[in-house]
Structure 1
């Protein structure tokens, strides 16, 4: 493909991607005159998110914001998080929807908001200082009732109560340890918040072995529906999908099923901090998806980001 034709094709594909953005109310980042605070205004200049947040992030003043959810550093003016250096749960971020509604406060991890993993992320209740698990768009999956929650893994999380933060030498890294002044407990929950007890020995019905756990658990993402089994097999073999996931080796799983408000299968990989997901619509069309931005036809995404074959 010559350079001019390639440029035209990419431009058309990118324009297709922007249709979803154009159909919504346009949002723009706003930075105060002293460059210390930032917020979001709509196309008419009205504040959607007040300029309460420090100017930390990857947007620039006046930039069009395409994201479906917006992670900002810091708390809004009417909220505060009184952090005790011994507590494990900590947040320094606020997640909004495009209407300016506060969805939740993601757990502070790896110098930022917690990653989305298997279609979920950890969050902190700023009042109780407890942790739970939330869908990226705000639906609470596991209420914030725990001192600490490990990342979601194969549909399961290990939760802890009666623990505190222990900062390692140098101050950069930390771990959780039992708090001698509290009752210590730990157990495993599935993504639905149900307590699950693992088995000591591996067995056909307990194929999942969790990180930091020698016990085995049932496969949370098991598919028995033949139509869905064929769908996963197709995804597994699709060469375009393989380019997205780069052959990591982790199995493909159905993380979400179609609903009236979101008529797509969400397919991803377990045990991965990958931002990449595949959407499948009712006609079987494939899209790239990352929960933050509008879906994009898979081939168009590859053309823009991986190069046309």
Structure 2
């Protein structure tokens, strides 16, 4: 006879398989935001009406109820968890993030009147009274272990441990953090969450300089990746476009360098290439490259992506009008000639 224990184990196994199959079927469906009848709470359901996340999140912000959710995670602004945090702390949660099956993932950090931005592919999250970093797929890449952390910049982030608190500027709107203990300290970490020691002299031409000391150049590339970076760097027209409106930019000191800050993922199959000037991000100098590296686009998260040639033509048309109004700008160049050249180039297939 088959023992009762074996039967129970078999039934448990079958239940797990059926549950997994049901969840997989749900994830293949399109997901949509929905609100309660009084429009005070918001949740997420499948196209067929199955509720993935009950409508319990505060209805803050703009949600498109007709457009399916295309991101790998689902996030809501606002959380009851905020009441557990002192206003004196330099951190507090700004909302809640879930996966596409409705599983809670983490509380994103409150920053700039909302949810923390992604910088170089990572954003800060709060766990208890500590800060860590999560990626765009909702994976907690670096565990929460610091009193506070700044966003990633050129492959590094400054973190704070040992006790820190808010100090408000005059007027009470903006604040910065100050040490609250003799044990307070700050240092840089890399994207593995490791503390990185500085050295006094450069060991690589592109080592990261901070406060007169240097940190190891944090980027490594395959030959194909380096080739696409060189292609962008050697396009003088990109530097012409970015330098044109700048009155205090000396060309040789303000040329863009490019680094890959994100690589292709399931939900975003592109390389993300950030432009830096003197190792500081140029906010509008972001490009994405297709996974096969055949196509380059200019990228802004809040705008439609444009093929490189189209973006260059658009920028040159704007600059043509700009230089007609301000012909004596120090970084003036022959826009009509450049425009004619780029318009005559064949479109990428």
Question: TM-score, normalized by length of structure 1?
Answer: 0.73
**Structure 1 residue 194: Cα displacement:** 1.7
Q: Does 1:186 align with 2:189?
A: no
What is the CA-CA distance between 1:200 and the residue it aligns to? 3.4
Superposed counterparts of 1:54-203, under 5 Å? 54-75=58-79, 82-125=84-127, 128-161=128-161, 162-180=163-181, 183-202=183-202
Displacement of 1:229 in angstroms is 1.7
Partner of 2:248: none
SS of aligned partner of 1:195: coil
Aligned 1:246-285 pairs, distance under 5 A: 250-257=256-263, 265-269=271-275, 271-272=280-281, 276-282=286-292, 284-285=294-295
User: What is the root-mean-square deviation of aligned Cα atoms in Å?
Assistant: 3.8
Distance 2:296 2:28 in 1: 22
Q: Residues 30 and 38 of structure 1 are in contact (CA less than 8 Å); yes or no, is this contact kept in structure 2?
A: yes
| Aligned position for 1:46 | 50
Structure in which a larger fraction of residues adopt helix: 2
- What are the Cα deviations for residues 258-281 of structure 1, in whole angstroms up to 9, with x where unaligned? 689987544334543569551431
What's the offset of the Cα at 1:159? 0.7
Q: In the aligned structure 2, how far is the partner of 1:263 from the partner of 1:166? A: 42
In the TM superposition, residue 250 of structure 1 has moved relative to its aligned partner by 4.4
Higher relative contact order (CA 8 A, sep 6+): 1
Residue number in structure 2 paired with 1:208: 208
Structure 1 unaligned spans of 5+: 1-22
C-alpha change, 1:215 and 1:239, in structure 2 (3 Å) is closer
Match of 1:232 in 2: 229
Unpaired stretches in structure 2, ≥5 consecutive residues: 1-26, 244-253, 318-342, 344-349
DSSP 3-state at the match of 2:136: coil
Q: How many pairs are equivalent? A: 275
Q: Name the stretch that deviates more: 47-56 or 97-106.
A: 97-106
Query: Would the alpha carbon gap of residues 58 and 154 (structure 1) be closer, same or farther in structure 2, given more than 3 Å must change?
Result: same
Report the Cα offset of residue 155 of structure 1: 0.4
- TM-score after normalising by structure 2: 0.66
Displacement of 1:58 in angstroms is 1.8
- Whose Rg is larger? 2
